[in-house]
Structure 1
Amino acid sequence: MPYVMPVVIGIVYALLMSLIREPHRRRFNALMVGGAGAAYLSGGALGGWEFAFTAVATYAAYRGLESWTWIGVAWLLHTVWDIVHHLKGQPIIPFLHDSSFGCAICDPVIALWCLRGGLPPRAWLRGPVAARQPAA
């Protein structure tokens, strides 16, 4: 179950975000990953590195305002930070020991969705090329 639920959460996230129309969907997701990039700041487990990571994540999120690829990159960066925090024993949710581990599984699911252009479910079945062509 600790492996399945994070995947389900990532899929549900993509489904819910797909309800937002473009270009607002991309911009909203850039804001979401920007917030995720600062999630570990209050714990301070890695000292000054927390600020350095937040700066890098914020840059990627900013670039994500105009690019799904950068949003995907930002989620993958957050995945790496989740793994570091899990190994250090400083989870994202202090009272849930494996929360960073779960986040490290969930985030790549979201990243894959973003790297595919943040397409709505209907477009998943048609593929990325069909989804980007205007309807006749």
Structure 2
Amino acid sequence: MLRYVMPVVIGLVYVGLISFVPEPHRRRLNALIVTGAGAAYISGGGFGLWELAFCALLVAVGYAALNSYTLIGIGWLLHTAWDVMHHRRGTPLIPSLHDSSFGCAICDPVIALWCFVGGPSIKDLYHRFSRRRPADAGRPAQPVTVTP
């Protein structure tokens, strides 16, 4: 059970922490982080030179993603696919932790989903889903007038 829950918690902690970074720096930092994720498996070499090709792919995606949360999300989903391939091959992200690639494959889509909704801060998410919007705060309700 923890094997499924902890990666989701890690993804949510990542979202919570990164949401303290103000925009547009948050988006750019996320683009850099997903680019770096492309190099996560290079030292393990589970897929030989394909590791370098995947790293180059995520560098291109990360560069294009500097101005797009959607592309950052796509980068995380590409990394998810790479995690699944490594898990199935038996070459985990952290060699001493057999399920590390499996966990990463669960964590990454959590981050991707957050990116697909625009990478909002926790404060923005709270206001988006709460009944009272920030623009309405402090304003009295306006009476509705109906003309016959």
CA–CA distance in structure 2, aligned partners of residues 31 and 19 of structure 1: 16
Instruction: List gaps (5 residues or longer) in structure 1.
Output: 129-134
Q: What residue number does 2:139 align with?
A: none
Q: What residue number does 2:24 align with?
A: 23
Shift of 1:37: 0.7
Q: Percent of counterpart pairs with the same letter?
A: 60
CA–CA distance in structure 2, aligned partners of residues 57 and 127 of structure 1: 31
Instruction: List gaps (5 residues or longer) in structure 2.
Output: 130-134, 137-148
CA–CA distance in structure 1, aligned partners of residues 127 and 18 of structure 2: 19
The size of the alignment, in residue pairs, is 131
Rg larger in 1 or in 2? Answer: 2
Q: What residue number does 1:88 align with?
A: 89
Which amino acid in structure 1 is aligned with residue 60 of structure 2?
Y
Q: What residue number does 1:132 align with?
A: none
Q: What residue number does 1:8 align with?
A: 9
Q: Please give the secondary structure, in 2, of the residue aligned with 1:38.
A: coil
Q: What residue number does 1:72 align with?
A: 73
CA–CA distance in structure 2, aligned partners of residues 117 and 71 of structure 1: 10
Deviating above 6 A after TM superposition, structure 1's stretches of 4 or more consecutive aligned residues are: none
CA–CA distance in structure 2, aligned partners of residues 127 and 49 of structure 1: 42
Q: Please give the secondary structure, in 2, of the residue aligned with 1:4.
A: helix
Question: What value does the CA root-mean-square deviation take over the aligned residues?
Answer: 1.7
TM-score where L is the length of structure 2 = 0.84
Shift of 1:127: 3.4
Deviation track 1:15-51 (CA, whole Å, cap 9, x = no partner) reads 1000000000011111111111111111111012111
Shift of 1:122: 2.1
Which amino acid in structure 1 is aligned with residue 49 of structure 2?
G
Q: What residue number does 2:48 align with?
A: 47
CA–CA distance in structure 2, aligned partners of residues 88 and 37 of structure 1: 17
